Amino acid sequence: MLFVAVLIFVGIFRSIAGTVFFYVFNPIASFFDATEWPVPFVAFSNTHRELAVKYEELLREHTAMTGTKEAYDALLKTYTAESVIGQESEEGIPAIVLLRAPVAGFDTMVIAAGSKQGVSVGMLVRTGAGVLVGEIREVSRAYSKVTLYSRSGETRYMENKRNLVAISVEGIGAGSLLARVPKGTDVLEGDVLVIPGLPHLPVAKIERVITSEAEAYMSLYASLIAPYSSLESVYVINAPTF
């Protein structure tokens, strides 16, 4: 009986030995070469520690980002509540500034208000303090792109608030504007530029007036009054009609 039992055991072992080796011992042997056991083991241990450290870093980043997102979502909810969406108040249509320069483009902003809220191309953008910063140039259903008056190549007529003298102003980037007016024009450093029809909403302040004996024109250098690089919210208003 014992002999028969041994034969049965040997038969069973031979039938499963290949399977056991293939699925159990072969992968282990392939991963840890018997002749180089210490090296891969140490490498595996070091890799594990590195992964653990990286995991902790990613976990901290995730926690920080989650907190930031929650704060943003709360702010977004405040500005886009059903009681506010599409309703233009005396200040205008409120909107959160999502992207500022240079992320959104030089002298450009992206705001969280679009056609759904009543925004259209050509409307103006002002701050809560009543300072104009630019115009709506592109509109989607929920977002709009704002071009600042200082964007390089942007040209438009403004007025000197002090005496309503019309001045053609060109944006030169980084919140700055340039104008050339005939020598003798009544303009001073510190004068404020406004959009015709909106004298109560300042745009820029003249910082320098440069004259030259050899030229018949004066160069005016102005800067946007609004802190465009740190704005968190704005209002969209209708452009004046004449």
CA distance 132 to 170: 16
CA distance 167 to 181: 7
| CB-based contact 179:154 (threshold 8 Å) | no
pTM greater than the 0.85 cutoff: no
The three-class DSSP label of residue 242 is coil
CA distance 54 to 56: 5
Question: 87-242, what's its fold?
Answer: Thrombin, subunit H (2.40.10)
**pLDDT (tens place) for every residue of the chain, 242 residues total:** 555 454 455 455 444 444 444 444 444 444 444 444 444 444 445 555 666 666 677 666 656 555 555 555 555 554 444 334 444 556 789 999 998 766 545 789 999 999 999 999 999 999 999 999 999 999 999 999 999 999 998 999 999 999 999 999 999 998 999 999 999 899 999 999 999 999 999 999 999 999 988 889 999 999 999 988 888 999 999 988 75
Give the single-character DSSP code of 200: E
